[in-house]
Amino acid sequence: MFEYLVAKEIAIIGKNELSFQKSLDTNYLNVLSQQDRMVRQFYPQMLSFLMNSAKEVSKILIAYLKEVPTSSKVVGKFSNSDLASEIHEADIILGVMRGPVLISLKLNKKTSYVNTKSGGIKSFFSQYFSFIDPKVQEEFNNFIDLEFNRMAFELHSLHDLDYPGNFHLWVAKGFSELPGDLDPESRGILKAYYARIAEEMHRILEKALKDNKELFQKALPALLGLGREDILQVIYFHDFPQNQNSVVELHSMEELRGELPKVKILKFGKISSVELEIGKWSLHIRVKPMNKFTTTAIKVNCSVRVKADSAS
C-alpha cells in the first residue's frame, strides 16, 4: 500500500494520475483492495500515517531528482511479475528526462535494520557468490543435513524420546514445531544449531573474501538491496504511531561503490548471523527457519544499516 501511495502522490504532482491508475495490474489492485480493507478495519490510525508519509517521501524524492517525473508506475511483486528478473528490488519506476529511475521503497521502524534479501540457504552461495566453487555449496548443504540430525537427536534426547529420523514422534507427543513455543532449554539447542550453521557460513565467506576480494565486492550490492546500477534505495524510518521524528534516507550504487573496498567480516559472535562491515554500511546475514524448525528448509535473511549524518 505504501508503494502505491507514494507512486500515486508523485503522479498527482506530475498531473498524470489517470495514466498511473490505468497502468495498475489487476492482481495488484486485488491485493491493494484487501490491504486497504484490513487497514481501515483493524488499524484506522495507519491510513493517515501512510498517506502523510507518502507525501513526505514524494517531496524528498522529487527534490533529489531535481524534476517532477512525467510518469509513475508500480512494479512491485504483485504487479508485472514477468519483469522481476529485470527490475530486481524495484517497487516503482519513475519517468524523468534522463530516462527511467528505479525506486526500491522501504517503510522501516527507526533504529532497526532494513531487510533487503531473503532466500533459501541451500542455494545462497551459488546464487550470490557464484565465483565460489560449486562444491562448496554442496558440502555446505551436507553440513546442514548433518547438523539438522544432531539438533533433532539432542531435542528428542532432552525430552526422553527416541529419534526415528524425523519429527513425527515429536509432533505426536504434542511438542510444537515453532521456535517461539519451545521451552528455554530446547530453544537453546535450536539456537546452537543455527549458530553452528552461521559459523560455517562465516568460514566460507572469510575464505572467499581472502581468495578473491574483487569478486567478493561485486557480490555485495545485491545483498545490500542495490542489485542494479541504476536503482535508488529509498527508506522511510518512522516511529509510528507518534511519528514525530521521521527520517528519509536515499542510497545509490554511486554512494556504495566507494565503500565496497573497505569490506571486512567481523569476528564471529557465536550467534545465528554473520556480520560484515562495508565502510559506513553494516550487513547482517542471518540464519532462520522458514517457519517450522522441524525441516531442513532454512532461509537466509539479509538486513542493512547505513551510518550517515541523517540517520539516528
For the segment 188-214, the average pLDDT, to the nearest whole number, is 97
What pLDDT, in 10s, does the model give residues 251-276? Answer: 999 999 999 999 999 999 989 999 99
What pLDDT, in 10s, does the model give residues 280-308? Answer: 999 999 999 988 999 988 999 999 999 86
What pLDDT, in 10s, does the model give residues 227-257? Answer: 888 899 999 888 877 766 788 899 999 999 9
**310: pLDDT strictly greater than 50:** no
For the segment 79-105, the average pLDDT, to the nearest whole number, is 75
For the segment 75-87, the average pLDDT, to the nearest whole number, is 56
**131: pLDDT strictly greater than 50:** yes
- Please give the full DSSP string across the chain, using - where no structure is assigned: -HHHHHHHHHHHHTT-HHHHHHT--HHHHHHHHHHHHHHHHH-HHHHHHHHHHHHHHHHHHHHHHTS--SEEEE-STTS-GGGHHHHTT-SEEEEETTEEEEEEEEEEETTSPEEEEEEEGGGHHHHH-TTS-HHHHHHHHHHHHHHHHHHHHHHHHHTT----SSSHHHHHTT--SSGGGS-HHHHHHHHHHHHHHHHHHHHHHHHHHHH-HHHHHHHHHHHTT--STTEEEEEEEE-TTT-SS-EEEEEEHHHHHTTGGGEEEPPP-SSSEEEEEETTEEEEEEEEESS-SSSS-EEEEEEEEE--TT--
**58: pLDDT strictly greater than 70:** yes
The pTM is what?
Answer: 0.86
In the structure, what pLDDT confidence band is assigned to residue 309 with cuts at 50, 70 and 90? low
